């Protein structure tokens, strides 16, 4: 995907105030820029025309995770997760977004100096932008196992979206695309399947839905958790978290990625071999449909996942 350049007049939250994106700049010596000392999140919002509302998906959980992960780098975000969601909803309203959006919170070490040692100077910002499909292909993706290994938890924890760790993903994604694939698949140092460059991996084999465990250096994804819940509750599938061997990717029935940005992305080829029949599988298609319905407020049982942007403002004004 080649996203369009964001509108410089988009309103963002920066240095504790609403400003234009064009005004939200940092010093070239900022610690987070030089040493990767930042933590980010990604939150999807889906606009439902019939209800004329924009629904932020699992926003509270995203912010709770973000604040915990910031603690790994001793970055303090001095605002509660609930208030961060309220602030995000206000950000969307100020931009009058009537389309799907992607929200990028980022916190970082903000001292402007040379030196790897950190201090207590922290900053954070919230950015929301119109956002469509991450992968343009609708007939399935081609994935490839790359030579780069997933960074180990004892080096840089993958369960936290630490900015510097994503050099690992950049290298993997570049190798995958140069080898004719759409996305990379990492192995751990022990040779087990970990995840994609920016997404979790699921495999369907012998009627079971299987995904690598947190101990295989994955991000504990909220979309991953959502898919597991949908699979159990709606499809009555057995969901297993266990290590996956590389060769299992070649003999499984279905394979797909999940993530906030990628949503549910079917994989029809891995390492130039067809996955199953080489077409999008029935389990993948069912889960993709269920996820679409749940995140657009079409399924009452999953409304607790959603934070309405425009109707919540009405509630606040009339309360």
Task: For residue 68, give both structure tokens.
Answer: 């915990």
Cβ(93)–Cβ(54) below 8 Å: no
Return d(Cα 178, Cα 162) in angstroms, integer: 25
Cβ(185)–Cβ(146) below 8 Å: yes
**Which is the catalytic residue, given 68, 142, 161, 208?**
161
Cβ(121)–Cβ(110) below 8 Å: yes
Return d(Cα 306, Cα 60) in angstroms, integer: 9
| Pairing state between β 17-20 and 11-14 | antiparallel
| 209 phi, psi to nearest 5 deg | -100, 125
Nearest to 117 by CA among 37, 39, 38, 40: 37
Dihedral, 289, 291, 297, 298 alpha carbons, nearest 10:
30
**DSSP string for residues in 127-139:** EEEE---SS--SS
- Sign for the CA dihedral angle at 96, 312, 298, 46 comes to positive
Return d(Cα 287, Cα 290) in angstroms, integer: 5
161 is catalytic: yes
Cβ(185)–Cβ(252) below 8 Å: no
> Helix 282-295 vs helix 222-235: angle between axes, to the nearest 10 degrees?
110
Cβ(37)–Cβ(164) below 8 Å: yes
User: In a 10 Å sphere around its CB, with 0-12 CB exposed, 13-18 middle and 19+ buried, how is residue 223 labelled?
Assistant: buried
Task: For residue 251, give both structure tokens.
Answer: 């003999």
Active site residues: 161
């Amino acid at each position: 995907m080649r996203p369009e350049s964001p509108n410089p007049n988009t309103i963002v939250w920066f240095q504790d105030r609403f400003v234009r994106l064009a005004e939200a700049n940092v010093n070239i010596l900022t610690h987070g820029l030089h040493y990767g000392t930042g933590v980010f999140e990604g939150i999807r919002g889906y606009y439902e025309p019939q209800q004329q509302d924009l629904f932020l998906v699992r926003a509270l959980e995203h912010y709770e995770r973000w604040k915990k992960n910031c603690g790994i780098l001793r970055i303090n975000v001095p605002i509660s997760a609930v208030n961060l969601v309220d602030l995000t909803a206000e950000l969307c309203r100020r931009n009058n977004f009537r389309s799907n959006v992607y929200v990028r919170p980022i916190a970082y070490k903000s001292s402007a100096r040379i030196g790897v040692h950190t201090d207590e100077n922290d900053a954070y910002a919230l950015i929301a932008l119109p956002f469509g499909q991450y992968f343009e292909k609708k007939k399935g993706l081609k994935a490839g196992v790359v030579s780069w290994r997933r960074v180990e938890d004892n080096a840089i924890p993958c369960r936290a979206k630490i900015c510097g760790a994503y050099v690992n993903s950049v290298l993997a994604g570049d190798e995958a695309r140069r080898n004719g694939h759409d996305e990379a698949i990492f192995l751990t140092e022990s040779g087990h399947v970990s995840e994609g460059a920016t997404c979790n991996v699921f495999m369907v084999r012998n009627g079971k839905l299987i995904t690598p465990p947190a101990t295989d250096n994955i991000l504990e994804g909220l979309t991953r958790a959502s898919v597991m819940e949908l699979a159990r509750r709606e499809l009555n599938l057995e969901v297993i978290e266990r290590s996956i061997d590389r060769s299992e990717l070649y003999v499984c029935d279905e394979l797909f990625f999940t993530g906030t940005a990628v949503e549910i992305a079917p994989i029809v080829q891995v390492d130039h071999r067809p996955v199953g029949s080489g077409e999008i599988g029935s389990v993948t298609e069912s889960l993709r449909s269920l996820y679409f319905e749940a995140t657009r407020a079409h399924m009452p049982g999953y409304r607790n996942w959603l934070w309405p942007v425009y109707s919540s403002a009405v509630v606040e004004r009339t309360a």
